[in-house]
Amino acid sequence: MRDSKISRIELGRQNPTENDIRIWCRACDAEDQIPELIAAHRQIDEMWEEHRQTLRAGLKQQSERIKPLYERTKLIRAYEPQTIPGFLQRPGYTRAVIEDVSRFHGLTDDIDQAVEGRLNRLRVLESGTCMFSLVVEAGALYAQRGSVAVMLDQLDYLERAAAFANVALGVIPLGRLRTIWPGEGFYVYDEALVRSEHWTGGYRTKRPGEIETYLRIFKLLQSQAVYGETARAEIDAARRLLQSREIF
């Protein structure tokens, strides 16, 4: 590369091409960095999606757009701190979540169509074509979305789904001594993509280094979780609290 071009790139006046990245890495004897830098270069414009912008097309269309990703993925890892993972959500719970999102963002979507679109996730899980490793904070079992009846239905389904051959469901109990702190929920699709929802937008990355970090975080969260009968006991504790309430 010419000195003038290097100067423009360093000053932020020109973006490097992928070929520029390859040449620079070879010149610096850092060829091992080429895949990571090219992945970052390709996704820099799509790394952050504002909810207001992506939701303009409608919640159903948003769900349909991501459907092919679900269908081609072999292993989905997910962590949720305050919400039941989307792939485990029953229709009533999904409706309550969508109504909250619609109200907050001032959307006028057809709720029925939006719920139908979101249920693609549940169908993927029940098809058995994909493996799921899911970790939730116990707080998600107590964070009520919809009526008590809706939550009881959701918790009953969680307990059933935990026994599916393609599902490993871990629960991090309340009061657990932590070696990794609770954070934003995220989903890892194979080792190809990470998606994470935040208050104002969604983060996604295909960068190998970032994916590796999320996988390391997920392993630490898994080590904090309980499984099998102990996880079902956590679900049952949340169910018993809900059943003690008088208003349905």
3 state SS of 150: helix
Question: What is the C-alpha separation between 205 and 183, in angstroms, rounded?
Answer: 17
Residue 155: the pLDDT is: 98
**Alpha-carbon gap, residue 180 to 97, rounded angstroms:** 27
List the chain domain ranges.
Answer: 1-45, 47-243
Instruction: Tell which residue, 190, 196, 204, 218, has the closest CA to residue 130.
Output: 190
pLDDT of residue 33: 83
Distance CA 1, CA 46 (A): 27
- Read off the pTM: 0.78
CATH code of 47-243, in short, is 3.30.870
Q: What is the reported pLDDT for 248? A: 46
pLDDT of residue 240: 95
Is residue 75 within 8 A of residue 187, CB to CB? The reply is: no
Mean pLDDT by 10 residues, the chain (248 residues): 63 73 86 78 54 53 73 95 96 94 77 84 92 98 95 97 97 95 95 87 87 97 97 97 74
**Helix, strand, coil percentages in the chain from 3-state DSSP, rounded to 5:** 55, 15, 30
Q: Give the per-residue pLDDT at 51.
A: 47
- How far, in Å, are 7, 102, 106, 152, 196 from residue 94 at the CA level? 52, 12, 18, 14, 18
Question: What is the per-residue pLDDT for 54?
Answer: 55
Q: Answer whether 102's CB lies under 8 Å from 241's CB.
A: no
